[in-house]
Structure 1
Amino acid sequence: MPSTIDNTPEKVNGLVKHPKKTANGHAPLIDVKSRPNLALWVTKDHKIYQKEESYPACGPEECVIHVKATGICGSEIHFWKTGRIGDCCVTHDIILGHESSGQILEVGSSVRDLQVGDRVSIEPGVACWECDMCVRGRYNLCPKVVFSGTPPSDGTMRRFVAHPARFLHKIPDNMSYATGALIEPLSVAYNAIRRASPYLGQPIVICGAGPIGLAAALCARAAGASPIVITDLEQNRLDQAYSMGFRKTLKIELGWDRLTTAAKIREVMGTACLPQLAFEATGAASSINSACYALEDGGTLVQIGCGKPDIEIPLMSMGFREINIITSFRYQQSWPVVIRLAAEGVLGDVDALITHTFPIEETVDAFETCVDRSQLAIKVQIVDE
C-alpha cells in the first residue's frame, strides 16, 4: 500500500523542513539559505568553474537529493580537456557529474516507493521507456536518453539535484555514500563482464588499472576468472591492484611495440595458459592493438575505455585468428545487483578504488588533482555533509 506520510515540505524560519517523521526514521533539515547549491561547470573552451545554482524544483515524478558523494570520471576529464568524447561535444556551459549518491529531501506527488530521508545511489541515464531499445530492455542504447553531465544535459556535481525517482536506488544503511557513488563505475564494469560472460578459471587480461579497469578486475574475479593479468603505464596503479589482491601485473613501457607488449602479457600470465578475454579500459590505440595480439586464437576483446573517435586496429590479423570484438556501453538493469554485490562483500573492498576525497567547495582542486600525475590519483570523490 502507498505510504500515508505527508511528504510536502514546509518552510520554518528560512529552513526547508520535511515530514515530521518519515517511515524510515529520518527527518532532514536543510538550511537552504546558508548552504548554496554549488555546481561544477565546464565550458566549450576547456575551462571549469564553480557557481551557485538555485535550489531545484521537484517535479511530480522526481525527488530532490542532497548529493553526499560524487566521483570524478575520466569522461569528465575528456570533456574538460578536449571538449568531446566521440561525437558528443561540449557546445555550451554544462554541469558535470554522474557518479553520485545522496539523501532524499523531497519527493514528488506521484512518487510512491521512495520517502524523504532515504539514502540512494543515482542512476544517471534517464531513458524514455518508449523506443524499441527501451522496450527490448536495452535502455542504455535509448536514442532519447538524458544522461547526467553529458552534453547537452546538466549533471549531478552539485549540492542539490532533482532526479527522476525511477532512476534512484536505495542503498542499505551499512553502505557509505562513498560506496553508493561507486555503484556507477562498478556498473560499467559489471555490464562489460556480463557482455563477455567469463567462466570459472578463464584466463583474462585487463588493460588499464584506472577506476574502470580495477572495477572490471573486481567483477571478473567475482565471476571466477583466473588468472587475471592487469597492465598499466603507472606503477602506483599496479601497486593499488596488488594491494587489492591481484598478483599478476605488468608495467607497460612506452618504447614497446604491440608485439613486445603482447609477448610480455603472455609471459606474466604464465606458460600454462594464454588470455582468452581482454578487457581494454584505456581507449588508447596502442593498448587496444597490444591486447588483440596478446589474446589466444579465437579470443575476445571487450572494449570499455573511451579514446579517439577513430582508431586503427589490426583487422586482418584479427580475422586470420578469429579474434572477436565486443563493445560495452554504460549499463542497464545493473544497480540493484551491483548494490547487493557491494553490500555483501562479493566484490571485495570496493572503497579501495578511492584515493582522494575533497569537500564540495574544493571541486576545482579535485579536478586539478585528477590531471596531476604526481598526485597518484585513481578515484577522486567530492563529498558534502
Structure 2
Amino acid sequence: MAPSVLVDQTTAVPATKSLERVVISASHTNPSLQVTADHNLKSVDAPIYAPGRGEVLVHIKATGICGSDIHFWKTGRIGSLVFEGDCIIGHEASGIVLQCGDGVTNLVPGDHVAVEPGVPCESCFLCDDGRYNLCEDVRFAGVYPYAGTIQRYKVHPAKWLHKLPDNISFAEGALLEPLSVVMNGITTAGLSLGRGVVVCGAGPIGLIALAAARASGAHPIVITDLESTRLAFAKDFVPSCITYQVDRTKNAQDNARAIRALFGTSEYVAPETVLECTGVESGVCTAAYTARRGGTVMVIGVGKAIMNNLPFMHLSLAEIDLRFINRYRDTWPPCNCMP
C-alpha cells in the first residue's frame, strides 16, 4: 500500500488547556477510523482521555497507512495477531504534545513528537535483555485491542514518544516508523560499505530500503519489482540504482540468475545481502537463489503465515543465512538524525 500520509488540518486544542477524564467539551471531538471484526471500516467519535502518570496527550497531526492496516482490514489477522473486535487502526504517527501527566519530565506541551507505537511490558526476560521488540506482552498501537493513531487525540506513554527536531515535518515524523523497520533489517543483516545488495520490491518499504542502503554506502544496488512504473519511480528516486523487472514467465531460479548477472560473472561479486521487502513466497524464493553462497537474505516484508516451497536444501548447502525481524528497537534516535 502506498505510504499515504493523512495530515490532520483541524485546529489543535491549546497546549495549556486542561482536559477532563473523558470529554473536553462538546466542541472538541475525536474522529477515529476503526476496523471491525467482520472486516469493515467505520468512523467513530472516540473518547478523549486525560494522561495518567508518565503519559502524554498528543494531538495526532500525521498518520501513515501501513500495509499491515490493510491486512487487518481485509483479513482480520496477521499471523497470531487477530482482530477479535472493533479497534482504531494506525501506528505511523507524529503530533503535538497537549498535556503531560504527573512524572513526565522529558516533554512539555507544544513539543512536536514522533510516536513509537509499541509499549513493552519492561519486566520480561526479553525486555531485560534489551530486545523489547520481541516482548509477548507488548501493547502495540493499532493492533487489537490497543487503540491506534488514526484518531485526533491519543494518550501515549512519554517514554515512547520522541521529540522531533525543528527541521522534520509531521509527515516525515510519521515516516520514522517504516524507516525504523528498514533500519532494523539493515542492521540485523549487517549490510556493509561497498558491498552489493538487492532490494526485492519497489513498494513503500522497498523504496525506504533502497534509500537507506544507498545512504549506508552499499554498492551496487539492484531493486526488483513486477511493475515497470514502480521501477521507474525507484530509478528517479535513487538514480544510481539498477532496476530489474521480474519476469512472470520465469521461475525463481531463472529470475535470480538474471539478477545475479547484473553484478558480473564472478561468484565473489554476486550480492552478499538481499533485502526481501515483499513478503511474497515467490519473492523469498527468488531472494534465496539470488544471494551468494554464505550470504544473507533478510525478510522485511510481511507474508503468509505458512510458506511451503522455500528451497531448504539450497539454503542449507550454500549456508545462506535466512533472517527475519519483528518491528524494531532503539531506532528512533538514529532515524531522527538522518539527513
**1:225 paired residue number:** 218
Structure 1 residue corresponding to 2:287, chosen from 287, 291, 310: 291
Structure 1 residue corresponding to 2:261, chosen from 267, 274, 281: 267
1:157-168 alignment runs, 5 A limit: 157-168=150-161
Per-residue CA distance 1:339-375 (angstroms, 9 max, x = gap): 111xxx2xxxxxxxxxxxxxxxxxxxxxxxxxxxxxx
Kept in 2, the 8 Å contact 1:228–1:269? The answer is: no
CA distance in 2, matches of 1:196, 1:266: 19
**1:58 paired residue number:** 51
Please, what is the CA RMSD of the aligned residues?
A: 1.6
Q: Which moved more, 1:64-73 or 1:232-241?
A: 232-241
Per-residue CA distance 1:99-141 (angstroms, 9 max, x = gap): 0000001100111110000000000000111111111111001
CA distance in 1, matches of 2:203, 2:26: 39
**1:278 paired residue number:** 274
**1:305 aligned to 2:301?**
yes
Structure 2 residue corresponding to 1:256, chosen from 229, 250, 253: 250
CA distance in 2, matches of 1:262, 1:242: 20
**1:335 aligned to 2:332?**
yes
Shift of 1:37: 0.7
1:58-207 alignment runs, 5 A limit: 58-207=51-200
TM-score by length of 1: 0.80
SS state of the match for residue 71, structure 2?
helix
CA distance in 1, matches of 2:59, 2:307: 40
CA distance in 2, matches of 1:326, 1:282: 14
SS state of the match for residue 109, structure 1?
coil
Kept in 1, the 8 Å contact 2:92–2:174? The answer is: yes
1:233-244 alignment runs, 5 A limit: 233-244=226-237
Shift of 1:16: 5.5
Question: Which residue identity does 2:168 align to in structure 1?
Answer: M
Closer, same or farther: CA 116–319 of 1 in aligned 2, 3 Å: same
Question: Which residue identity does 2:299 align to in structure 1?
Answer: Q
Shift of 1:19: 3.4
CA distance in 2, matches of 1:224, 1:297: 22
Per-residue CA distance 1:283-304 (angstroms, 9 max, x = gap): 1100000110111111111011
Aligned length: 318
CA distance in 1, matches of 2:265, 2:113: 46
CA distance in 1, matches of 2:183, 2:70: 22
Listed as ranges, the gaps of 5+ residues in structure 1 are 1-14, 21-30, 346-385
Structure 1 residue corresponding to 2:29, chosen from 30, 33, 36: 36
Shift of 1:35: 4.3
Shift of 1:82: 1.3
SS state of the match for residue 175, structure 2?
helix
CA distance in 2, matches of 1:165, 1:84: 29
CA distance in 2, matches of 1:320, 1:267: 21
Kept in 2, the 8 Å contact 1:249–1:268? The answer is: no
CA distance in 2, matches of 1:163, 1:55: 12
Structure 2 residue corresponding to 1:46, chosen from 39, 43, 54: 39
**1:325 paired residue number:** 322
Per-residue CA distance 1:47-86 (angstroms, 9 max, x = gap): 1111111222211111110100000000011111111111
Shift of 1:255: 2.3
Shift of 1:211: 1.4
Question: Which residue identity does 2:186 align to in structure 1?
Answer: I
Kept in 1, the 8 Å contact 2:271–2:290? The answer is: yes
Shift of 1:17: 4.4
Kept in 1, the 8 Å contact 2:220–2:241? The answer is: no
SS state of the match for residue 269, structure 1?
coil
Shift of 1:240: 1.9
CA distance in 2, matches of 1:279, 1:247: 14
Kept in 2, the 8 Å contact 1:129–1:135? The answer is: yes
Runs of 4+ with >6 A deviation: none
